[in-house]
Chain A
Amino acid sequence: MLASAVPDDRTLRMVHTFDASPERVFAAWTDPAQFTEWFGPHGMKNTHCSLDLRVGGTWELTGEGLGVRRAVSGRYLAVDPPRLLSFTWAWHETGDLDTPREHETTITLEFKPAGVRTEVTLTQTRFRDPTGAANHRWGWTGSFEKLDAFLAKAA
């Protein structure tokens, strides 16, 4: 993790190398059937996912587990397979997608080939406070572990 590269405490930056090609890692983020397999903290199971993969298209996901139901959604800002993906991101007040969205952040993912593997840089900006960034770091850490396992299983 390149903590030194983080410009401020409202920004989260994480770098993780996945053991698969950029095409496969990009697909894991953009194919709903694959995204639902790994996204979320350990112990959460996704119940619905729809991704309208084009600039301006919306994406949404709901999940449950660990005693909660949660929903998250956003809009794609940039789609350039298998190099770049950018989208807005906000949790809903409850596990229902028709409840109001909370504070919105923006996520940019860069996929760089690293030999036969792929280095992914996640940059999430415009957090309301440093705690939000820290909480999301923990969330992504668990999700990346699950994506590692998913890519190994699917290989």
Chain B
Amino acid sequence: MDTLSQTFSALADPTRRAILAKLASGAATVGEIAQPFDMSLPAVSRHLRVLTDAGLIERHTEAQWRRCELRGEGLRAAADWIDEYRRFWEQQFDKLEAFLKRTAPQDKTPLPKGKSDARKRRS
């Protein structure tokens, strides 16, 4: 599997997204991650391995503690991929806007002001 597929596949699981959300507020030990509500979750080590293989987290060993940390670069590839499609649609909206202006009927029924500008609304 290529890296991007591995990243999206790792993200396609609510438990793993919950682990990433937890790590977004700071590094945590495996024990801390494995115990929502004090439940011991044996499957968590499997989820951590998937996240590590996908480059989304890093595991360090400090003294006897194994700490997990978010790895920003891992998500960047996925975010860049989505961003390309965002830019594509922006261009399409710009073209559509130009087309609508060019072909607008010349009578006095203008479009409502400020509602058709996708770029302004997004910012």
Which residues in A have some Cβ–Cβ distance to B below 8 Å? 40-43, 66-68, 70, 72, 91, 102, 131-132, 134-136, 138-142, 145
Instruction: Give the CA-CA distance A66 to B34 in the complex, in Å.
Output: 10
Chain B interface residue count: which class? 10 to 19
Task: Please tell me if the beta carbons of A138 and B36 are within 8 angstroms of each other in the complex.
Answer: yes
Instruction: Give the CA-CA distance A142 to B37 in the complex, in Å.
Output: 10
Task: Please tell me if the beta carbons of A68 and B42 are within 8 angstroms of each other in the complex.
Answer: yes
Contact of A141 among B21, B35, B39 (CB under 8 A): B21
Interface residues of B in 16-56 (CB under 8 A from A): 17-18, 21-22, 32, 35-44
B14 interface contact, C-beta 8 A: yes
CB distance from A38 to the nearest CB of B (A): 13
- Chain A residues with CB under 8 A of B41: 41, 66-68
Task: Please tell me if the beta carbons of B15 and A41 are within 8 angstroms of each other in the complex.
Answer: yes
Task: Please tell me if the beta carbons of B38 and A91 are within 8 angstroms of each other in the complex.
Answer: yes
CB distance from A59 to the nearest CB of B (A): 15
- Chain A residues with CB under 8 A of B18: 41-42, 138, 141-142, 145
Instruction: Give the CA-CA distance A134 to B29 in the complex, in Å.
Output: 12
- Chain B residues with CB under 8 A of A41: 15, 18, 36-37, 39, 41
Q: List 23 A-B contacts (CB under 8 A).
A: A41-B15, A42-B18, A43-B15, A43-B43, A66-B42, A66-B44, A67-B42, A68-B39, A68-B41, A72-B37, A91-B38, A91-B39, A131-B32, A131-B35, A135-B32, A135-B35, A136-B36, A136-B38, A138-B18, A138-B35, A138-B36, A141-B22, A142-B36
Contact of A42 among B14, B32, B39, B40 (CB under 8 A): B14
Task: Please tell me if the beta carbons of A43 and B14 are within 8 angstroms of each other in the complex.
Answer: yes
Instruction: Give the CA-CA distance A42 to B17 in the complex, in Å.
Output: 9
Contact of B32 among A66, A91, A134 (CB under 8 A): A134
Instruction: Give the CA-CA distance A138 to B37 in the complex, in Å.
Output: 7
CB distance from A6 to the nearest CB of B (A): 15
Instruction: Give the CA-CA distance A53 to B41 in the complex, in Å.
Output: 30
- Please name 19 further chain A to chain B contacts, defined as beta carbons within 8 Å, in addition to the given A42-B17, A131-B35, sorted by A numbering: A41-B15, A41-B18, A41-B36, A42-B14, A43-B13, A66-B42, A91-B38, A91-B39, A102-B38, A131-B32, A132-B38, A135-B36, A136-B38, A138-B35, A139-B39, A140-B37, A141-B18, A141-B21, A142-B36
